[in-house]
Structures are given as structure tokens and as C-alpha cells.
Structure 1
Amino acid sequence: MRMSAFTPIPDLSLYAVSKSSSYQMAGRYFEGVAHAALYAKFRPIPPPSLVNRITSYLKEKYKGPLENAVDVGCGSGQSTGILSNHFKNVVGFDISEAQVAEAVKQEKSPNVTYKVSGAESLLCEKESLQLVSAGQACHWFDIPKFFAEADRVLVPGGVIALYGYHLPKPIWEGKSEKLNQLILDLYSGILQGYVKQESMEAYLGNYTDPRYKPPFEYYESERDDSLYLDRKATVADLKGYISSWSGFQNYRADKGDEAALNVLNTFESKFMDELGVDTPSSETELTLRITYYLLMGRKPLA
């Protein structure tokens, strides 16, 4: 799966997120229209193996038809549409109107819909869902309230699945570790103080925080760290992905467009120097490995 090419932007409108934008409110970092477009363009779509792992786990003990699933914190829909081949009805929920609008624009599956809703109060009937999923999102939720709501809407035997992915690791013979360090230096160095703790926990952590224990204290649960996706991307694509980080957008809102663009261009220059190639960044292709971690819990059958 290849990311869209990211070409140089003559002005900064693509990066623009107003300093007064609602995305900066506590727990709401992806609400700008331009940010939603970046999110849709550059965020990865989970691999089929991840969805197959979730549905296989669900079917181990739930023997009824797979009617309804929701994807909470769906963003622009990368983690929602992938459920459409497994469930009769799929709904993506996100608190951001801009993200939901982008998801609706991108979605092609007729059995997938999107609604604006917080994670802690889902627009679903009691015991009406076989699956509640959240991809790279639950670190933004009020975890106890979200788990209580998931427990309310899941049928007995239904599954809650939380998953996330680490920062992408470039694969280039003899250079992978140094290239990876450039990404880490940007994320936890230059952008330090602009990357929210919740986001850092998701990218660099593993959902091992005690907050993620309930309802798994009484749910049967299972964890899988074996899933990954290798995707071809140009260096310019990687630069575009970085521009979708909430930490980068926070930096831009504080420091301004020129400083933000300088951060991206400096990163790109260092990355290309390390590769030691003469091709433009938009034509320099490498492999990005995205490693996932998955935590699943099954509501008791009785």
C-alpha cells in the first residue's frame, strides 16, 4: 500500500491551523479542516491482518451474526472502512466535525456511516454491538467512562479492541537505525513540549498504563504485538505524515508558519543527507514499517 505523493506546498495553507482553533481544546487536537485533510492523506490504514485477528477472536466464542460494529475516535475513517467486509453495519464516531466530514468524503462502502459523538456517550442502544474498536485513539478518551459505555453497548460475548501503532521505522540497508533516530529526535526532541503526553504514550508506549485495565479486569482478554505493515513511501510522503502530528500542529500554532516549515525542511534535508542519494525527496522511495499493538477483551457471555 503506497501513500499519496507529497509535493512541495507553495504556501502554508495546507498546514494552517489557527491559534484559536478548537483543536487545541483539552483532548481535542484534530478538529481543524486542514488538519483533517492531512490526517486523511497521510495516516496509515491498518493492515487486513489486524482486522482478521479481531474478528477471529470475536468468533471464537460469539456465534451469532456479526451485525453491528463501531469505531470510536475514527478520525478521517482509516480505521473504520476496514470493518465493512466483516459487519453488516459499521459506524465511525468522532468528536470532531471536520474529521467526520473528511471521513464521509473519503468513504466508499455503503454499509459504513459516520456520526459526531464523544467516546464516553455513544449513540447506540444497550447490548446492540458485537464490536467496539478504537484505533490510535483511546489515549484521548476518559478511559473509565469509555469502558463503562463500551460495556453498556456490547452484547454478551462482544469484544472491545484497542490498538495503536508505533512511529514508523524506515527500512534502508545499513541506514535504518540512523534514519529512525532522526524521526525520534524530531518527535521527542525538537517538538518536546508540543507533543501531548497522551500522544507520546500511544506512539512510544504500549497501552500498558493502568488506565487501560478495566474492564479487562473481569473481561477475558488477549494481547497481540505481532502485527505490522510495510508500505512504500517517498521521503516527501514521510514529511507529509509528520505534518499531520498534533505535536507539529501545536508547534506551528505557537511558532508560526515559517518556523514550522523550517522544521519540516530541516528534517527532510537531514534525512536525504543520511540516505546519500541525488534524487528529489518526492522520488526517493523507501519502506516504512509500522508496528501495531492490539489489546482485546471479551464481555462475559453470562
Structure 2
Amino acid sequence: KIIGLDVSESQISEANRCNPFSNVEFKVSAAESLPVADASVDLLTACQCMHWFDIPAFLNEARRVLKLNGVLMVSRYTVPFLYTTNKESIPIINLIYDTYRSGVLQKYFNMDRLQYFDSGYAQVEFPFSDVSRRKTFMDEVVAGESCIDDVQSWSGFQILLQKEPSVAATVLADLRKNIISYFGENELSKIQLTFRREVDLVLCRK
């Protein structure tokens, strides 16, 4: 049995609506109060999200719900670095990362939380005797428009869009212009490139 959890009722409703699997269910729940019995979980995962939690409370809850020898897996991946499709490094390799780090956006990110994310949770002490940290990366060939989609998915960008919509439009326009300029195309949809994301994994056995 697999249970997916999120605090967003709308996301859980949509997940259940689209779910074709009889052994999978989705529930609304906070990470700090999981709706499962003590010592009942074989594998607990938190992907791209633990920095939003009350981390000590979540880790205590993980210890409560995991079976003996059960595993907590925490992961995060970075904003993408850009490569050509043959993996040759190109001058815009840091373009999305530079957008993420721009002063325009930084004031709208919760940096107290994102410090954990940016470090790959390096400063978090996981209360387990068996803890393994691993680094890897994942590549994905995408159309140029995915660069815009990625930026639009950021929480800080969504706040910028609400508070300063013209500035948000400029951020996207500048990113689009720089990518098109490098590839010499007139549309992002005609451009293919590789997203490379660095991935940090933390595996904890109870």
C-alpha cells in the first residue's frame, strides 16, 4: 500500500481523481502529524519538500511511523544547469541558476527555509544511527520553453508575479531573450537543450 500526502486539498483531490491504482491513495496531511500507526511504514519519502517542514517535528514523526529497519529517504534537486543536447558545456550553463539568485527574486523567497534546500540538508542532524548521504545528477532533454516553465514553478516567482507583475514579466522576457540569442532561433519551441540537476539523497535506516 502506498499513501501520498500533501497539505493542499486541491492537489490531493486532483491526485485522487487521476489515480488509476487500487493500492495507492492520497490524503491531506501535515508532515509533522502523519495519519498512520506507529511502526507501520517500510519507506517514508520526502522529495523536494523537507525545507518547508518543521524539521525536528517531522524527523520525530518519521521515527514514530517507521518499522524497525524502515527507511526515511529525503531528497532534493537543484535548479537546472543548461547544456547542449550533446552535453557540451555552453555559456548559458548558469542562466536559470543566476535567475534564481537574482536580487529581484531573492527577496520573495523564504531564505530561512531555503538555506536547508540549497545545502542539500547538510546542516540537518538526522536522528538515526544509520545515515547515508549521496550525490548524483539527472539529465533531461527539453524544449527551450521548459526554462520558462521551471522559473514559473518557483514559489518566489509566484509571489513576485502577484506583487510586481511587470517585473515578473521582465524576468521571463530576459531569460527568453538570452536563450534565443545563444541558439540563434526565433522561438523557444525550436530549441532543444539538456537540463542537468544535481541531486542530494539522504537515506536513514531506523
What is the TM-score normalised by the length of structure 2? 0.90
**Aligned counterparts, 1:144-223, within 5 A:** 144-172=56-84, 176=89, 178-189=91-102, 190-197=104-111, 198-199=113-114, 201-202=116-117, 204-209=118-123, 212-216=124-128, 219-223=129-133
1: CA distance, partners of 2:189 / 2:143: 6
- DSSP 3-state at the match of 2:93: helix
Q: What residue ranges of structure 1 are gaps of 5+ in the alignment? A: 1-88
Q: Which residue of 1 aligns with 2:54?
A: 142
Which of 30, 38, 54 is the aligned partner of 1:126?
38
CA distance change for structure 1 residues 176 and 191 in 2, over 3 Å: closer, same or farther?
A: farther
Which of 271, 282, 287 is the aligned partner of 2:194?
287
- DSSP 3-state at the match of 1:191: helix
| Aligned residues between the structures | 203
CA contact (8 A) 2:82 2:94 kept: no
2: CA distance, partners of 1:286 / 1:110: 37
Amino acid at match of 2:163: D
2: CA distance, partners of 1:101 / 1:170: 34
**Does residue 260 of structure 1 match 2:168?**
yes
- Quote how far apart the aligned CAs of 1:233 are: 0.8
1: CA distance, partners of 2:110 / 2:89: 26
CA contact (8 A) 1:128 1:155 kept: yes
Q: Which residue of 1 aligns with 2:142?
A: 233
2: CA distance, partners of 1:200 / 1:234: 30
- DSSP 3-state at the match of 1:180: coil
Amino acid at match of 2:133: R
1: CA distance, partners of 2:148 / 2:164: 18
- Quote how far apart the aligned CAs of 1:105 are: 3.9
User: In angstroms, what is the RMSD of aligned CA positions?
Assistant: 1.9
Q: List per-residue Cα deviations over 1:200-222 (Å, max 9, x = no partner).
A: 541x322101xx21313xx2111
Larger relative contact order (CA 8 Å, sep ≥ 6): 2
- DSSP 3-state at the match of 2:92: helix
- DSSP 3-state at the match of 2:189: coil
- DSSP 3-state at the match of 2:56: helix
What is the TM-score normalised by the length of structure 1? 0.63
CA distance change for structure 1 residues 174 and 149 in 2, over 3 Å: closer, same or farther?
A: closer
Q: Which residue of 1 aligns with 2:203?
A: 296
**Aligned counterparts, 1:33-44, within 5 A:** none
**Aligned counterparts, 1:66-145, within 5 A:** 89-145=1-57
CA contact (8 A) 2:44 2:72 kept: yes
CA contact (8 A) 2:183 2:191 kept: no
Q: Which has more strand, going by share of residues? A: 2
